Amino acid sequence: MWGCSPWALLPPVYSVCTAAGLWAVYFLAVQDQKISPLSSQYRRRNGSFYAPYISIAGNFPPASCIFSEVMNLAAIVGFIIAVLRYLQLKHAIDKPWLNFASLVAFSIGCFGMTLVGNFQLFTQEMIHNLGTFMTFGLGTLFCWVQSYITLSVNLRNEGRKAGVIRFLLSAAITLCMILYFSLMSQRLHMHAARCQWALVMFFLTFLATFAIEFRHNRFDVVCTDNTGRPLSLSETHSQVCRYQADQL
């Protein structure tokens, strides 16, 4: 039998699969000689070998097809994780608005992921960059807010350990983002691309840490027969309690 909830698998599996998809896009773009490897020195030759930014790696087919699928799936499952996290904290947090604001911020960030994946950089640059700012900016805000919530709520007395890990990851994400934009403005594209990849990997690692709390929770969808008169809130709660008792 499981020692913890199977829902604990969702965040790490999501992070691993998303990272694997992005690296598949990278290696395919390198193989097709569209970008330079991250380990090389960036030199533009005869219009080929762009800097290995994630967006450029996913700009050319067939890598662009995989990139779109990865970003769309990452946005959908990421949104599901954010909703589950919201429900987990809904009755435990003393500042409900902060929990709701966190969900809204990450939801908009997930929409930004779909813009990044479906509007290639070299064809729809403005929309693509808007999606990038939404994903990185609101994603970073989400990480800091969740780090604070982790410490303040302290679920199962694990908030301090998990909170420290998340604050460190949030700081790493913020540092990578600052370096990314700074190096890119100085046209140090190879170093900027490395910072971008590190930023995304740190962010996926942050989301994987939700397994710490998810292992204590079970999320169920309850279906009730509503063919008769509408049920009151107390009657609905009674039906849910009976359903849970039957599951024991």
Burial (CB count <10 Å: 0-12, 13-18, 19+), residue 51: buried
Is the pLDDT assigned to residue 226 strictly greater than 80? Answer: no
Kindly calculate the radius of gyration of the chain based on its CA atoms and give it in whole angstroms. 21
Q: What is the pLDDT of residues 163-183, one digit of tens each?
A: 999 999 999 999 999 999 999
pLDDT for the residue numbered 6: 85
The position carrying tokens 């990278």 is: 26
The position carrying tokens 């594209």 is: 189
> What percent of the chain is modeled with pLDDT above 70?
87
| Amino acid at the residue 122 | F
- Measured CA to CA, the distance from residue 107 to residue 135 in angstroms comes to 10
What number is the average pLDDT over the span 30-46?
Answer: 79
Helix, strand or coil, per DSSP, at residue 48: strand
Does residue 12 have a cis peptide bond before it, meaning omega lies within 30 degrees of 0?
A: no
Query: Which pLDDT band holds residue 192 (cuts at 50, 70, 90)?
Result: very high
Instruction: Give the global pTM.
Output: 0.86
Helix, strand or coil, per DSSP, at residue 47: coil
Mean pLDDT of the chain: 87
What number is the average pLDDT over the span 178-189?
Answer: 93
